[in-house]
Amino acid sequence: MLSGKHILLIIGGGIAAYKSLDLIRRLRERGAKVTPVLTRAGEEFVTPLSVSALTGVKVFRDLFDLGDEAEMGHIQLSRAADLLVVAPATADLMAKMAQGSANDLASTLLLATDTPVLLAPAMNVRMWQHPATQRNIATLRGDGIAMVGPNDGDMACGEFGPGRMAEPLEIVSAVEAHLADGPLKGKRIVVTSGPTHEPIDPVRYIANRSSGAQGTAIARALAAMGAEVVFVTGPAEVPPPEGVKVVLIQTAQEMMEAVEAALPADAGVFAAAVADWHVEGTSDRKLKKSKDGLPTLSFAENPDILKTISQRTEGRPALVVGFAAETNDVLAHATAKRARKGCDWIVANDVSPGTGIMGGTENTVTLITDDGAEDWPRMGKDAVAARLAKRIAAALA
């Protein structure tokens, strides 16, 4: 249910705008108040009259409409809502958002707001796949903008592929998930995830087999419970979750800096498989084969992010959770690791090749806290994440 919730709906200029009329009905059926904004291009697809008839209120259309400014400035308009929904979010509108451009009412509202934003992109498949659009999407995701869709399918332009706007009910579900008042509302949590890449030269690097699946699932579970999540990730195989602030890094040093920059936080969950060493004196030229024999790499230690944050005297998150990926004597190694690093909890798991855990979809973990070690049964990584998120919510309550 969305009763008492206020949605500012920006309707962009795309053929999918007709679905936004149905979206308005679905949102209102669930008790939401919908304030509509129609872009100039949007007016080519749906009329202001149909939008205002369905919302029951006046449609906002122009930044320079002085009547509107006198009644409600654009700043208040963007901030009075619980959520801004852009449907359809066109390639152009997303490009403007990624650039921070504000040359019409819709882009100005999106720049002026401090309210969460949900986009329902809709565009031609080639436009969606274009590197410029993909760059903008990465930027917007990094800014914590959530997206629903687009879906694959036949498009109005006759092509097939990703680009179709999500269906109204899918958008409604995303709105409901976003506005859910979870137990972690108001809590800020930093999550590290994925491997790090430590360069040898401009074309080679040292990495590990972490897919980022467990860290991603944890970030998603925390966000679903209402937390504000800063997700600091190395080059992972799985895409980052929606609705979290994503910080992309390559090296352990960059991850350390991104985590420090994300503080203060109520909790830190350090699920990344951070490389312990980096190559010293990396070359800015590709290493070449030589008659003089094999190259020798020398290593230097990376910062230990979990340990550094756990042992902070000022600004330490109230709860610091580390992971221990071990291949033998899991409990003994993990217990020693918890003491050595100074974190509150350790989530230990056995990642020896036979377990299929590294890169797989399931995990078998032992949670080590002050109260001892708790074995959890083997379950999907999403289920591990949900259970851990619940424990974190209880600990921060």
Residue numbers of the site for ligand CTP (CB under 6 A)? 192, 252, 270, 272, 274, 276, 302, 304-306, 322-325, 337
Nearest approach, Cβ of 370 to ligand CTP (angstroms)?
18
DSSP readout, 363-380? E-EEEEETTEEEEPPPEE
Distance CA 124, CA 16 (A): 11
Nearest approach, Cβ of 244 to ligand CTP (angstroms)?
18
Residue 148 or 272: the one with the smaller Cβ distance to ligand CTP is: 272
Residue 33 or 337: the one with the smaller Cβ distance to ligand CTP is: 337
Q: Using CB positions, name the residue nearest to ligand CTP.
A: 305
Pick from 156, 169, 150, 4: nearest CA to 89: 150
Residue 58 or 333: the one with the smaller Cβ distance to ligand CTP is: 333
What is the DSSP secondary structure assignment for residue 186, as one 8-state letter?
A: T
Residue 16 or 334: the one with the smaller Cβ distance to ligand CTP is: 334
Q: Facing residues of 246 across strands?
A: 231
What is the DSSP secondary structure assignment for residue 243, as one 8-state letter?
A: T
232 touches 193 (CB < 8 A): yes
Residue 24 or 269: the one with the smaller Cβ distance to ligand CTP is: 269
Place of tokens 């190694």: 333
Distance CA 165, CA 125 (A): 11
Return the SS3 of 60: strand
Nearest approach, Cβ of 365 to ligand CTP (angstroms)?
12
Catalytic entry in 53, 72, 75, 157: 157
Nearest approach, Cβ of 308 to ligand CTP (angstroms)?
8
Nearest approach, Cβ of 271 to ligand CTP (angstroms)?
6
341 touches 305 (CB < 8 A): no
Nearest approach, Cβ of 292 to ligand CTP (angstroms)?
33
Provide the residue type at 138 as one letter: A
Residue 219 or 324: the one with the smaller Cβ distance to ligand CTP is: 324
Catalytic residue status for 157? yes
Q: Encoding tokens for residue 113?
A: 């707001």
Nearest approach, Cβ of 116 to ligand CTP (angstroms)?
28
Count helices and strands in the chain by DSSP H and E runs: 14, 21
Return the SS3 of 215: helix
Residues in the chain: 397
Provide the residue type at 48 as one letter: P
Q: Facing residues of 195 across strands?
A: 273
Residue 55 or 302: the one with the smaller Cβ distance to ligand CTP is: 302
93 touches 44 (CB < 8 A): no
Return the SS3 of 127: helix
195 touches 272 (CB < 8 A): yes
Catalytic residues: 157
